[in-house]
Amino acid sequence: MKNIQLLLVLMLFVALHSAAQETACITEQNIHYYPEDVNQSDAYINERCVLDIYYPTDEETFGTIVWFHGGGLTQGQKEIPEALKNKGVCVVGVSYRLHPKVKSPKYVEDAAAAVAWTIKNIEDYGGDSTLVFVSGHSAGGYLTSMIGLDKRWLAEFGVDANQIAG
């Protein structure tokens, strides 16, 4: 009986300690990452080229992960993956234009615009612009590679690809 009680107390302690470790976060949704004149010039850009930002409120100068969804460049929506939440970092979930409504390289341009927006604006949310990491799943991994390995994409938005932390 004492072993069961000890096990229950230990489990309760672990559960309470884990809950205490969670970071308080805020999510802001549907932020346009292109300038307003670009958003107003194209209804599809205005609809698709938005991001959600999930950031900690009790951390200072945190790192940021820009996350691109998968979907073969033909489908998918921005997301904040559950596995990245409550880690003391910001996560930026990006939506981008999709094929066949647009052709390449429009979605690569969108990815670069979103990362440039993040680098230029993350300090307004408490983040560190030198700690911006870019990642994604499937097609999102492709977009990550394109903007990280070919400097011309980010240069179009006034950002050097070497500013990406990883």
Pairing of strands 50-56, 25-32: antiparallel
Number of separate domains in the chain: 1
Specify the residue for token string 């000890």. 6
User: Would you state the pLDDT for residue 4?
Assistant: 41
User: Would you state the pLDDT for residue 63?
Assistant: 98
| pTM (predicted TM-score) | 0.87
Confirm whether 17 is domain-assigned.
no
Confirm whether 142 is domain-assigned.
yes
Confirm whether 12 is domain-assigned.
no
Q: CATH number of the domain at 107, please.
A: 3.40.50.1820
- DSSP string computed for 32-60: E-S-HHHHHH-HHHHHHSEEEEEEESS-S
Confirm whether 8 is domain-assigned.
no
User: Would you state the pLDDT for residue 21?
Assistant: 57
User: Would you state the pLDDT for residue 60?
Assistant: 86
Confirm whether 88 is domain-assigned.
yes
For residue 97, give the amino acid letter.
R
Task: Give me 95's structure tokens.
Answer: 């939506």
Residue by residue, pLDDT tens for the chain (166 residues) are 444 433 333 333 334 334 445 679 999 999 999 999 999 999 999 999 999 999 999 998 999 999 999 999 999 999 999 999 999 999 999 999 999 999 999 999 999 999 999 999 999 999 999 999 999 999 999 999 999 999 999 999 999 999 999 9
Confirm whether 125 is domain-assigned.
yes
